[in-house]
Amino acid sequence: MAEVRISEIALELGYSSKEIIEKANEMGLKKIKAQNSAVSMEEAEAIYNYVQTGELPQKLKTKSKIHSKPKKEIEILDDEEPIKKSKKEKADKPKAQKTVKPKKESVSKKTQEQKEEDLNSVKEPEEIKNEEVKKETKETTSKKDIKTEIKEELKPQDKDEIKTTKSKNSETPKKEISKEKESESRIKKVESLASLSLKKRRGLVIVKKKDEPKEEEKTEVKAKKEPTQRLNIGLDEIFSNTSSNLKKKKSPKKQPLNTRKESATKIEILDDRDIKDVEIDDESEVVLPDLTLSAINVENQQKEIKQQKVYRSAQNKFTNQETRSISRGVRKKHKKPVKKDEEISVSSIDIPKEIRVYEFADKLGKQPSEIISKLFMLGLMVTKNDFLDEDALEILADEFNVTINIIDEALKFDYTKDYDETKDDEKDLVLRAPVVTIMGHVDHGKTSLLDYIRNSRVATGEAGGITQHVGAYMVEKNGRKITFIDTPGHEAFTAMRERGAEVTDVVIIIVAADDGVKPQTKEAIAHAKAANVPIIIAINKMDKPTANPDLVKSGLSELGILPIDWGGEYEFVPISAKTGTGIDELLEIVLLQADILELKANPKRMAKATVIESSLKKGLGTVATIIVQNGTLNIGDNVVAGVSYGRVRAIMDDKGNHIKKLSPGECGVIIGLSEVPESGETLIGVEDEKTAKDYASKKHDYLRQKELSKSTKVSLEELGAKIAEGELKTLPVIVKADVGGSLEAIKASLEKLRNDEIKVDIIHSGVGGITQNDIGLASASENCIILGFNVRPTGDVKERAKERGVEIKTYNVIYTLLDDVKAILGGLMSPIISEEEIGQAEIRQVINVPKIGQIAGCMVTDGNITRGADIRVIRDGVVKFEGKVSSLRRFKDDVKEVSKGFECGVGIEGYNDMQVGDYIESFVKREEQATI
């Protein structure tokens, strides 16, 4: 037999020979004394193992147990014992398995003795196993220690460990026991430790199990079956649906079941055991993966079965649905290509000028999101409800490669254009009355001139009746009619004058001879020139001794209005609205001008007129003053004027007489419109009411959409501006006026009343009296006031306004109205804060007073220093601090004020950085009401 020297073993292990000798002695190999001592191969291996693992060779351990343990232990080593035990185990197993966890606890509570008994009676194989497997078992450990260690191991494992042993290497314990018997006998025969060790190690080789006695194997198989069943239960719980199938399948296939059993047991051990034990147990580690793997396989198989079932059942269950959804999808898919075809075929689209993103997308056959994202990529942020401007449309046309034709929706209801497209026959044209507008600066005599012309007309008794303000009237001169637009001479009426200029054939600009050219004179000339309307200059107030017509002529010449007698082309007529001097001459010149203009119209066709004023009158409804420019308007004609339409129920002339028709150039009042049309609106006669209504509703829709577009079309810059505007204080107002012209003028003036801080917000305006609705609207808006011009609230409305706390302000002079609004706006504006310096003091000494801080010894150099006053500390001309005087003393007395030339002690609130040479300036802030 080959022998190995101790020195060789030491060299191999990297230990000193002495250490190896000691270890060998510990192992009981007392014969080894020197490094030259030789041992057998088996002994060498045992030493090697012992040194490496600290594992006491089996033989020695058994020996020690034999010595220390009671007889029972020896009995276990009897030949029959393993079988008994295996039977006992069989009987115990179900219990042990079922009560794994409780037992764990109970075991832990067991007394040392009980545990020892357990160990001796039931867990003897376990002990052996543990000895084989556990690395931590040290040879140096005393018998007690070994026991304790075993107990500790058993605590968590308890009978599971037995299970483990059986399930994992089911034969192993018995094998070990049988080996134990062998080894025991070998101990008696004093066999080598090395051979014992080798056998022991071989015991771990699973393959060897097959070589074990059949009887034991059978027992093991039986033992295995139980956990199998248990496993089935566990799996059943998990895969409840498939339990029966599994059971059926498992019964004929024992081998997989075994594997599964092993794995199941292993899993259980893992659950119950300390991880440290698992980690230490190399063998377990080696075995576990295989078992786990097989378990996974089994589980996977089961899952597969389950999944297959689920899948099938899902398929079965939802087959129809799926088919349906697919078919729907298919249908959709069928549709989409159709859409795509449409998209592709869209090479040109007609869109209105005002178009929203979703409408555009619809026209293009795309999704709004597509349009939005396209524009977003190009830096335009829109929502689907936003209107697309021309830039965006241009971009989209490029992006989608489509021609976009913008159709002006306004054309759909542009009845004026339709009317003008029908050309009049030359032979039908006749001369018509010129329409004259008088413009001029305030107080230059417009009203006086108009009054004179009208009064002279009444005075001459050409027509009877009471003269009333209808916004326009006619006079006859030399058998020819002249229509005058009665525009009040106030700046606020600019807007109306602009419209007047459009309908006007001739403009008379009135300039007071004693005043000359004024701002509004210039403005009036600008309007007349813009409208390309001939201008006649009336130099008024010639009766005044201060009259200086040359002043007027020179003033107008500077504006390019040169009189004929100065070589120019403009007629300058000196008149006196007071005396009437020159007025006939003025009218004659107007007629002359009309002749030059060859004002002709076709009285045979439907009328085309301009609305001068309109209002609601009780008992009459909408009353509109119009001037007919072409055609003839008869009672019963269907007319449209913007959003207003209707059938002419009655016509009155400027004197209030009912007449049957209005000829070209004539003015009159008509009744029958659906609603109040705007001043300056064109009115035409149409063939029937439907046509009239159609035009009106189209325009209504258009305007509404335009209004909405204004509110939604917000670019980023505008958004910023709007946000900034949110900072603006606003004065919400409701404006009601007797006539449209006044209303327009007031609105225009109010809109001008704004600055960076404040503005007027006209939340509602209308022609007519103040109504309950207006009160309701005003009370719904905070601080809203109602402005009435030439209207008065009636009893009920007044009552309601009082109840709701709504302020109604009524006026008959626009100036007053505007002045009042200005005052209110001024009140809303931030006050103007101004500062007034009241004194200065020079710091000459700085004293630090504990708990109080700095006190400056000062000399007041100017004005006064007052306690509580605002001050600023100035160092080298630079403001270092602003605050308040906290204390002011003269000598030891607190004082309120110290005047120039006196010394004082000054404390400043929250400031302790005063220096000699600093100045303290005292000032007061004054608030002033701002005005707009």
Report which secondary-structure segment, H or E, holds 535. strand 535-540
Q: Least distance from C-beta 551 to ligand GTP, angstroms?
A: 15
Residue 610, annotated ligand binder? no
Residue 306 or 444 with smaller CB distance to ligand GTP: 444
Which residue(s) pair with 508 in the sheet? 438, 536
* Residue 505 annotated as binding site: no
Specify the residue, 295 or 492, whose C-beta has the smaller distance to ligand GTP. Answer: 492
441 annotated among ligand-binding-site residues? yes
| Distinct helix (H) and strand (E) counts, the chain | 32, 33
Which of 492, 529, 525 lies closest to 509 in space, CA to CA? 525
Nearest residue to 641 (alpha-carbon basis) of 622, 665, 617: 622
- Cβ-Cβ contacts under 8 Å for 867 (sequence gap 6 or more): 885, 887, 888, 894, 895, 896, 897
Kindly state the smallest distance separating residue 491's Cβ from ligand GTP, in Å.
9
Cβ–Cβ under 8 Å, residues 869 and 924: yes
State the nearest-atom distance from the C-beta of 813 to ligand GTP, in Å.
10
Q: What is the CA radius of gyration of the chain?
A: 58
152 — phi, psi (to 5°)?
-60, -40
Q: Does 487 show up as a binding residue in the annotation?
A: yes
Nearer to ligand GTP, 451 or 757 (CB): 451
Shorter beta-carbon distance to ligand GTP: residue 305 or 495 = 495
The set of residues, in sequence order, having a beta carbon less than 8 Å from that of 546 and lying 6+ positions away, is 513, 514
Flag whether 534 is marked binding. no
For 849, the token pair is: 């007073």
Q: Is 581 annotated as a binding residue?
A: no
Residue 486 annotated as lining a ligand binding site: yes
Compare residues 540 and 610 and give the one whose CB is closer to ligand GTP.
540
- Judged by beta carbon, residue 576 or residue 629, the one nearer ligand GTP is 576
**3-class secondary structure for 709-756?**
HHHHCCCHHHHHHHHHHHCCEEEEEEEEECCHHHHHHHHHHHHHCECC
For ligand GTP, the closer CB: 517 or 778:
517
CB 332 within 8 A of CB 347: no
Helix axes 143-168, 112-121, angle to 10 degrees: 50
Which residues would be at the binding site for ligand GTP (CB under 6 A)? 440, 442-448, 488-490, 540-541, 543-544, 576-578
Consult the annotation and say whether 474 binds a ligand.
Answer: no
Distance CA 520, CA 490 (A): 9
Give the SS3 label for residue 452.
helix
CB of 591 to ligand GTP, least distance (A): 22
**Residue number with CB closer to ligand GTP (375 or 814):** 814
Minimum Å gap between C-beta 439 and ligand GTP is: 9
Q: Minimum CB separation from ligand GTP for residue 493, in Å? A: 9
Candidates 212, 282, 285; CA nearest to 49 is: 282
CB of 824 to ligand GTP, least distance (A): 24
End-to-end Cα spacing for the chain: 125
Residue 448 CB, nearest distance to ligand GTP (Å)?
Answer: 3
27 annotated to a ligand binding site: no
447 is in an annotated binding site: yes
443 is in an annotated binding site: yes
Strand segments, DSSP code E, in 541-681 are: 571-574, 600-601, 608-617, 621-630, 633-634, 638-641, 644-652, 658-659, 661-662, 667-673
Q: In angstroms, give the least distance from the CB of 447 to ligand GTP.
A: 3
Kindly state the smallest distance separating residue 446's Cβ from ligand GTP, in Å.
4
Q: Given the complex with ligand GTP, which of 488 and 857 has the nearer CB atom?
A: 488
Q: Flag whether 120 is marked binding.
A: no
Q: Is 252 labelled as part of a ligand binding site?
A: no
CB of 490 to ligand GTP, least distance (A): 5
Give dist(CA 581, CA 540) in Å, integer: 9
CB 174 within 8 A of CB 214: no
Is 446 annotated to bind ligand? yes
Q: Please enumerate in sequence order all residues whose Cβ is within 8 A of that of 884, keeping only pairs 6 or more positions apart, or say none.
A: 868, 869, 870, 871, 908, 909
* CB 676, CB 704: distance < 8 Å: no
| Comparison of 354 and 515: residue with beta carbon closer to ligand GTP | 515
For residues 135 and 578, which CB has a smaller minimum distance to ligand GTP in the complex? 578
Find the residue with minimal CB distance to ligand GTP: 489
Binding site as annotated, residues: 440-447, 486-490, 540-543
> Which positions make up the binding site for GTP?
440-447, 486-490, 540-543
